[in-house]
Every structure is written in C-alpha cells, then in structure tokens.
Amino acid sequence: MKVLVTGGSGFLGQEICRRLSARGVVTSSLGRRPSTTLERMGVRQHLGDLADTAAVSRAVAGCDAVVHNAALAGVSGPPRPYWATNVVGTRHVIEQCRAHGVRTLVHTSTASVVFRPGGLEGVTEDLPFALHHLAAYPATKARAEALVLAAHGPELATVSLRPHIIWGPGDPHFVPALAHAVRAGRLLMPGDGDNLVDTTHVRTAAHAHLLALDRLRQSPAVGGRAYFIGQGDPRPLREITRRFLRAAGIGARWCAVPPRLATAAATVSDTFLRVAGSPRTHALSRFLVAELLHPHYFDLTAARRDLGFEPPIGFEAGLAELTPLALPTPDHSKDTPCRKPTKPSAPS
C-alpha cells in the first residue's frame, strides 16, 4: 500500500508518517520544506505547495490513499492565504485523487468548523457548521471539509476527522505559546478558566487517521461523514493550562481578565490588523478570546461506533511524556498580584 500524507513534516503529519512507516506502508509526504525527521523514517518527500496543481499531481501519482493533513492554521489574519491553502489546496487534492485513481481520502479538519460564541457542550456531528465564523481559519476549514464530504462516492471514499487542540511531545504550538504568554509568573487569560475543554494527544489524532484509512478501505459506507476526535476527557481550561505549564517546568498564576474587556480588546485588535493589512496568523483575536472563554467538548460516539476509535493514551499518561521546555526560568521573586490588565495575554 502506498500512502501520501500532505503536510507530513508538521507535528501531526510526522506522527502519521511514523505510524504508517512502522506498518510497512510505503509512505510519502508533500510539503514546502524538506524534513530530516522524515528522511530518517525513509519517507519520500515531494516539495511543493498545495496551490500548485502540478506539484499535487506529482505527489498523488501512484498512491493508493491520501491523508490530507496540510493546512494553514491560525486565529487571525486575512482570508486570502487561508483560502489558497485550505480551500484551493483541498480542491486540488480531490481533483488529483480522481485523476490518478486514488480510492481513499482522509481529511484532517478541525472541531472549530462548528464553533460559535457560547461554546459547545457534548455536541454531535449533527450540529451544522457555524453560520458566522470569527476567523478565516475555521471558515476555510469548514469549506474544505464540505468539499471533501461532497466528493465521497463509489470511486473515491472520503472521511473528515475533527481533532481539537493537538498536543504531546515536541508540540511546537500550544504548550510553547502558553509558556511564552507567562509574564513574571502570571498568565493573563480571559475569564476564570472554569469552561470545560477537551484536547487531543498527537498519538490519539494519528491513531484516528489510521483507523479511518482502514475502515474506508474495508467499508466505504462509513465515508462521506465527519467525526469528532479527542481524548473524551474534558477538563477546566484553567487546569489544562496549569498542568501543561507545570510539565514544561513553568509555574504561573492564572490572572483573570474580565470577559467584556478581553472581547473589546480582541475586537480592536481584529480591526487594527484588518486595516493595517497584517498577515499575522497568531495575533489577539475575537476567535481566540471566544475559544478561551467558552466550553468546547464533543460527543465521540460516532467515531467509536464507526471507526472503532478509543484514545490510545490518556491525559495523565500524555502529560507524563512532556518534558520541560528550553525557556528562561521565570523569576517568581518579582511576582506581583494579579491586577486588572488593559488586555489579555493569551496563547498565540
């Protein structure tokens, strides 16, 4: 079996490639930069951009299945780059799968496609996409997922997975962002952090992708659907951030920013970035503040029933795998009490 993983050099992509290679699957990757990690795995690397039809065609040719994991992720930024990668790129992947006779396509979506202010508590996949997305990332990922599911049929079986907040050893995004947001032993965050949030260990997310590949090949009837993926262990955001920071070797006190102030600051930031034409994808935004303020966890029944999904590692065991980050040690002797700030310092 030959499988292409788009975005194979990324955090989740590498884990998917690692698991495929361990099975003896002939694995290749499409990405914009070469990866020494993939080279050591023996993964063939195609260099190119999803917006380049010819590059996608070369990578897809000869494959039996594609895991479309590549995407532009972020909480802010103008729509055009997101559209080019997440929508146009996905359209190219689908077209080339059809052109080269690929029978199986697994798409990495995100639970954020259904996120709306007020939060999500134990929702199922029956919940429709949000009518209004607060950022270009979830908006374009929703459009990409719709394309993938609409493409499902006898000649190309497709499925879309929705992991949420992926973390684990080597995480280059979530935990480092939290660590860098700590100032003088304080973590300024909107709200009190009591909102329940589920997360996804990188091994859990990769495991789900391989399950989806297997089930689509065995029974295409499970295709044409989206599935929430997570640990199935929602916890208060305040606890999650504290535990992650502690595992990274950082102590910090949660300092609550009033929700209205945080939302107002995010609105000002969104407006300024839009007027300035800023390309920043990880700036303070209404989307970020809304996700930090509200609950978001999901019913995993469909994935368990149709894919045979169960997280291969629990939250506590995953925490034990994390190691301290190579960051300056905070000087807690200079800690000051939490005071009402002018704007929140959130993961970015």
Name the residue among 268, 240, 236, 230 with its Cα closest to residue 347. Answer: 240
Phi/psi class of residue 56: alpha, beta or left (left: φ > 0; alpha: ψ in -120 to 50)?
alpha
Cα distances (angstroms) measured from residue 316 to each of 165, 169, 201, 207, 265: 16, 13, 11, 18, 35
Helix (H) or strand (E) holding 198: none
Determine which one of 82, 137, 227, 297 is catalytic: 137
Provide the residue count of the chain.
Answer: 348
Q: State how far the Cα of 9 lies from the Cα of 35, in Å rounded to an integer.
A: 6
Q: State how far the Cα of 316 lies from the Cα of 75, in Å rounded to an integer.
A: 27
What is the phi/psi pair of residue 131, to 5°? -70, -30
Q: State how far the Cα of 41 lies from the Cα of 316, in Å rounded to an integer.
A: 28
Torsion angle (degrees, nearest 10) of CA 211, 217, 221, 226: 40
Tokens representing residue 202 in the block: 């990188």
Torsion angle (degrees, nearest 10) of CA 320, 163, 17, 201: 0
Residue 254 one-letter amino acid? W
Tokens representing residue 334 in the block: 């200079």
**Residue 227 a catalytic site member:** no
Across the strands, what pairs with 104?
65, 157
Q: State how far the Cα of 197 lies from the Cα of 175, in Å rounded to an integer.
A: 15
Annotated catalytic residues are 137
